[in-house]
A = this chain, B = another copy of it.
Amino acid sequence: MRPTIRDVAREAGVSLATVDRVLNHRTGVRAATIRRVEDAVSRLGFVRDTAAANLSRRRDYRFVFLIPEGSNSFMRELEAQVVAMGARLRAARVAVEVIAIPPFDGDALAAALDRIDPREVSGIALVATEAPSVRDALVRLAGFGIPVVTLVSDAPLFPRSRYIGIDNVAAGRTAASLLGRFLGPREGRIALVAGSMLLRDHMERRMGFEQVMRAEYPRLTPLPVVEGRDDAETTRHALATLLAAEPGVIGLYNIGAGNRGVIEILRAAPPASRPVAVVHELTPHTRAALREGLAHAIIHQDAGHEARSALRVLRACADGAPVLEARERIRVEIYLRDNLP
């Protein structure tokens, strides 16, 4: 039979309340008594039942997620995962709310943050935009001690407890390695497409990409980045313009979203002149492209993992509990045709 605080109390010769005080490091207990209780705890191998403790405390949680709205498949998947996990966690006294934010709009994000009443919220997760107004809003929330995590795209200089997402420099390096290896001895230009170079994640991916290209594949020449606003049609048009102007493109790295636009272009190209393509995020479209041989590798991050990780980390922050680092590290996943999940 598992020991309870009753057993500890008896063993230490004190009351339940005193055991509770010691367990929760509350003041007003003589040092000698503390020792007796602690001895009893270790002698019995007592471990506090957190469910019972939370029940008694009437502890509950309210977490808010701020996620960009729009057609970006990855963001939609992330939102769905947050909602799904929120539904599951209702039975564990946690409520999750998702607020849609116009994308690429720091002020809209800041306004949404300002609207949050810190007394009603136990934690916030947001896909960060690095605008001064966002910083101000986060400073205010930090003042109230609200745990905040950044999701997918970080803002390392803003007050936030933690970033939950991939190492984007590593992702960019990985893209370069894959292209370099897949292209073998060939020589030529590489097209780069991004959503916006003002987004930290896109910028970091590009940096990692260029690092590896310069150091290891000097025969491959990355072209200047074209921006597609993470939108299929804009991306398609930008890429079409680039390819028309630049012959000799043998590789392509889509740093951001807008994959549908990229894939259309690849499909329209004559097979012999199609570049080797590496894109981000496994979605129904990129999966189909990989299967068809239009894309050659997908670099992915697991939206479900990120959603659950954010929830676990926010809860741990709210409880002052430790975080299991290895579990929360988001992997830079590589998918080829053969290891698709």
Identify which of residues 285-331 in chain A touch chain B, using a CB-to-CB cut-off of 8 Å. 304, 308, 324, 326-327, 329, 331
Apart from A88-B324, A170-B339, what are 10 other A-B pairs with CB-CB below 8 Å? Answer: A2-B93, A47-B91, A51-B93, A55-B55, A171-B339, A174-B336, A181-B181, A181-B182, A331-B331, A334-B336
A332 neighbours in B (Cβ, 8 Å): 339, 341
A214 close to B (CB within 8 Å): no
A177 close to B (CB within 8 Å): yes
A92 close to B (CB within 8 Å): yes
Q: How far is the CA of A88 from the CA of B339 in the complex (A)?
A: 32
A208 neighbours in B (Cβ, 8 Å): 338
Q: Is the CB of A336 within 8 A of B48?
A: no
Task: For A55, give its contact among B51, B174, B329 (CB under 8 Å).
Answer: B51
For residue A172, give the distance in angstroms from its CB to the closest CB of chain B.
9
Interface size on A, residues (CB 8 A): 45
Q: Is the CB of B336 within 8 A of A333?
A: no
Q: Is the CB of B47 within 8 A of A90?
A: yes
Q: Is the CB of B174 within 8 A of A338?
A: yes
For residue A198, give the distance in angstroms from its CB to the closest CB of chain B.
25
A32 close to B (CB within 8 Å): no
Q: Is the CB of B337 within 8 A of A177?
A: yes
A178 neighbours in B (Cβ, 8 Å): 336
Q: Is the CB of A212 within 8 A of B181?
A: no
Q: Is the CB of A92 within 8 A of B51?
A: yes
A241 close to B (CB within 8 Å): no
Q: Is the CB of B304 within 8 A of A327?
A: yes
Q: How far is the CA of A47 from the CA of B55 in the complex (A)?
A: 15
A182 neighbours in B (Cβ, 8 Å): 181
Q: Is the CB of B49 within 8 A of A339?
A: no
A324 neighbours in B (Cβ, 8 Å): 88
A28 close to B (CB within 8 Å): no
* Chain A positions 224 through 257: 1 when the CB is less than 8 Å from some CB of chain B, otherwise 0: 0000000000000000000000000000000000
A60 close to B (CB within 8 Å): yes
- 16 residue pairs of the A-B complex, CB under 8 angstroms, read A2-B93, A47-B90, A49-B92, A50-B91, A51-B55, A55-B55, A170-B340, A174-B336, A178-B336, A181-B182, A184-B184, A184-B185, A329-B341, A331-B333, A332-B341, A334-B334
Q: Is the CB of A51 within 8 A of B54?
A: yes
Q: How far is the CA of A208 from the CA of B47 in the complex (A)?
A: 47
Task: For A60, give its contact among B2, B88, B170, B338 (CB under 8 Å).
Answer: B2
Identify which of residues 254-273 in chain A touch chain B, using a CB-to-CB cut-off of 8 Å. none
A93 neighbours in B (Cβ, 8 Å): 2, 49, 51
A206 neighbours in B (Cβ, 8 Å): none
Nearest to A336 among chain B residues (CB) is B177
Q: How far is the CA of A91 from the CA of B174 in the complex (A)?
A: 40
Q: Is the CB of A339 within 8 A of B173?
A: yes
A31 close to B (CB within 8 Å): no
A157 close to B (CB within 8 Å): no
For residue A73, give the distance in angstroms from its CB to the closest CB of chain B.
16
